[in-house]
Structure 1
Amino acid sequence: MEEELKLLIKKRGAVKGRITLFRKYLAEIEDKVLNFGENELLDETLLIELETRCNKIEEIFGEFEGYQTEIELNSNEEDFELRLSERDAFENDYFKAINLSRFYFKQDETWVDNDLTVGKCWQSSDIFGVPSNISSTGRLIVVHAGSNNGFLENASLVFKAGQTSGDYHGQMNQTNFTKWLTEKLLPNIPANSIIILDNAPYHLVQKDKTPTKSSLKQHMIDWLSKKGITHDPSARKYELYDLIQMHRPSNNQKNYVIDNIIWQHGHTPLRTPPYMCELNLIELAWAQVKRHIRCRNTSGDLSLTKLREVLDDAINSVTRSDWEKFCQHVIHIQEKYWQTDYMMKEIEPLVITLDNADESSDSDLETDNDTDGSDSETE
């Protein structure tokens, strides 16, 4: 057993060594990677080599998992904490290496109204004023993406909300978003990028969506037939739904339309947790853009043409240095969440058993009496 454990540790060490070599390689090309998009394109040969190495390094995670699991199973109980720390150390090194090797692009959409301005009113020390109520007469919808290198060049989309003509019209929806994704985002990002999405409804449209309890019965029958699941079409609706529940795919198996498009182009979709927009750093960029517009829209009634000019100026005012600060801010929040999550896992559940005090006392008394009687008979 001891010899087998030593061999497993040796094999695991070889896997860890490959991570170390990969990080050394990344350090050698760091300057070229960080300056991508600022002056010139990365050399095509370097891009191909980087992508190949990334694909290879992702394969070794499974190898490590296999060896580490065997080591943990063959280790003594007193070494369990040590094995867990070894696993954590490797995963930290692995994910840091992956993060360094891949470009992260955060995309999002926002809007700006022509009444977007700083609220002002007259007031004195003893009379409070009331801000004027300015109604919006025009709104622009803005879609963009960025990373720690800044807003992505040629990826901006701005159109008037509610317009009935043009390539982009109406409000932001799946059709407009998909068109922007395929025409403006995907052609302009590096290979093997990660695209971070929030949970907007048009990001979550599914192909072959699992029927819900309120779906039409025919939809349920069609879904079961397509999946090859034996069913009785004459069954009641609740019976069909129970059958669907038994074969419902897990969350990570949901067939999102947007995800499929991203995967087909060689990139990876990644969603922020629901209701946690603070983990999407482009929200910080939008806040800065809107602050810039407010400070320059003193009248609160800009024409759409002038609003577009101010918007473009606001977007250009967000520098690469700003984006780097946004990244650090989000990383700090993420680390705090991880620490909190780890501490919550460490808390053991508190189990309180409720008993009738009188019954417990009677039971104890009977036990004592029985014991006393048994002793007296023995004596």
Structure 2
Amino acid sequence: MGPPIPRQVKNIIYNVHSFFLRRKGDKESMEHKYDMNINKLVAEATGVSARTVMRIVAEGNSSLQTSEIAKFSSPRKPKEIKKRIHIDDFDMGVIRRKIHQFYTIDKKIPSIRKLLAALKEDGIVNCGCTYLRQLLHKMGYLFKKCKSKRHILIERPSIAEWRVRYLRAIRKHRNENRNIYYLDETYVNSSHTSNMCWQSESEPGIYADIGKGRRLVIVHGGSRDGLVNGALTIFKSDSKCGDYHGDMNATNFHNWVSHKLKNKLAPNSVVVMDNASYHCVQVKKKPTMSSLKRDMQDWLRERNVEFTPDNTKAELFHLINRTQSEKIYVIDEILKASGHIVLRLPPYHPDLNPIELVWADIKNNLATNYINTSLDDKIPIITKLFSEFTPGRWQKCDDHVQKIENQYWDHDMRFDNVIDELIINLGNDSDSEEDMEIEDMYSNEEEEDMD
């Protein structure tokens, strides 16, 4: 099937066909061989297929039933295929620190356009304003009105508070010389390979698979002393055998911590992890309206909250919501029984976990030096790569993370004063065209949309 034919071209083809059709009965035209197949003649004259001519003629004749002249439809514009933009965890960390730099160093308000221009200049992202705005929402940023009725990009207070609390805690544990272990999970697809390579007309380089294929789940942990010996676990996603099956979930994670990690940790250690759902399974969650009434009553009774036997579920649920209760996680209790404590990273801050740099190193080595290997062959290769990852390399990753921690700490300590100064200064400025455009863009946006 050829390219779409515009309406004007269809009209020309129809007129040419009508011309030959009128001349077909003319004696003079008979001498000039106008008696041959008209569809083929028009196709030869216009450069389209005879079938296309027939379809256009049928469309024109059909339109004559309701109109005095032949009318034709225009082809649909081809749908623009947007190129996917991949922003990894490290890029998000860089974007976050760039926003901090705007406030604390440059003393400027980072509008979407200004932030995008700075990120493009540094080669961090190459996207549009809409995508960047969506990414900032995902990272926990709100574009809110300040006192001068201008908009200002502010990190969600709960995330900023969590980060400061985390930084205080991790500094305290380091000053106490406690062993700090970081753990996480990652995946390697069967088609994992480098995205770029040297190519020429005679040397096509490597061919990437169209689909990602099955994948391996990798779980590991480490500290300044290096990766935890014997803690590495690799299993196939969706496999139906062995101690681990399916993708990573709470059961698999708890089994790994219980059998392959906790007994290999130094006494009185700190275990740092992110907020993945299987890391945060609660021992006993707050009852909801779908819970049994007796379970709601038992929950309140355990916390010495008064209620009467004739209270309805709605009343009990109201009492439950008003009751402050600390969340207790299963994994925290498992590690606590062995004398360890858990420290959770603030949301959207993988740049504070050095094991993310370990993943990047291992995956880059695998993609560069072991191309076109099957999923089964990747398992011993990955095991070998981890065994060769020395404590010195981990310490470099850890040093890099501590440098980022210090940057966050310095920025957060200065952030409140800088924001107050900006708000005061904005009160005397007139609205610029860019600010008004941005304000119109966000004027109907509610904070609940970000949650």
Counterpart pick for 2:215 among 123, 135, 139? 139
Residues 1:97 and 1:288: Cα distance change in structure 2 (over 3 Å): closer
Compute the displacement of 1:160 (Å). Answer: 1.2
Compute the displacement of 1:140 (Å). Answer: 1.3
| Secondary structure class of the residue paired with 1:107 | strand
Q: 2:382 — aligned with what? A: 311
Q: TM-score, normalised by structure 1?
A: 0.60
Q: 1:22 — aligned with what? A: none
Could you report, residue by residue, the CA deviation over 1:164-196 in whole angstroms, capped at 9, with x for unpaired residues?
Answer: 121111111111111111111111111111111
Q: TM-score, normalised by structure 2?
A: 0.51
Q: 2:320 — aligned with what? A: 244
Cα distance in structure 2, aligned partners of 1:347 and 1:217: 51
Which aligned pairs between 1:44-63 and structure 2 lie closer than 5 A? Answer: none
| Secondary structure class of the residue paired with 1:275 | coil
Quick check: 1:115–1:135 contact (8 Å CA) kept in 2?
A: yes
Compute the displacement of 1:121 (Å). Answer: 7.8
One-letter code of the match for 2:375? L
One-letter code of the match for 1:316? S
Which aligned pairs between 1:1-379 and structure 2 lie closer than 5 A? Answer: 95=171, 98-99=174-175, 101-120=177-196, 132-212=208-288, 219-232=295-308, 234-249=310-325, 253-299=326-372, 302-347=373-418, 349=420
Could you report, residue by residue, the CA deviation over 1:51-96 in whole angstroms, capped at 9, with x for unpaired residues?
Answer: xxxxxxxxxxxxxxxxxxxxxxxxxxxxxxxxxxxxxxxxx9x956
Compute the displacement of 1:138 (Å). Answer: 2.8
Cα distance in structure 2, aligned partners of 1:130 and 1:287: 21
| Secondary structure class of the residue paired with 1:202 | helix
One-letter code of the match for 2:187? W
Number of aligned residues: 255
Unaligned stretches of 5+ in structure 1?
A: 1-91, 355-379
Unaligned stretches of 5+ in structure 2?
A: 1-167, 428-451
Residues 1:98 and 1:293: Cα distance change in structure 2 (over 3 Å): closer
Cα distance in structure 1, aligned partners of 2:267 and 2:414: 37
Cα distance in structure 1, aligned partners of 2:319 and 2:345: 31
Q: 1:45 — aligned with what? A: none
User: What fraction of aligned residue pairs are identical, expressed as a percent?
Assistant: 38
Larger Rg, first or second structure (1 or 2): 2
Cα distance in structure 2, aligned partners of 1:272 and 1:201: 13
Quick check: 1:120–1:132 contact (8 Å CA) kept in 2?
A: no
Quick check: 1:120–1:131 contact (8 Å CA) kept in 2?
A: no
Cα distance in structure 2, aligned partners of 1:107 and 1:318: 15
| Secondary structure class of the residue paired with 2:253 | helix
Greater fraction helix: 1
Could you report, residue by residue, the CA deviation over 1:16-35 in whole angstroms, capped at 9, with x for unpaired residues?
Answer: xxxxxxxxxxxxxxxxxxxx
Compute the displacement of 1:245 (Å). Answer: 1.9
Compute the displacement of 1:124 (Å). Answer: 7.7
| Secondary structure class of the residue paired with 2:272 | strand
Cα distance in structure 1, aligned partners of 2:172 and 2:305: 43
Cα distance in structure 2, aligned partners of 1:334 and 1:183: 32
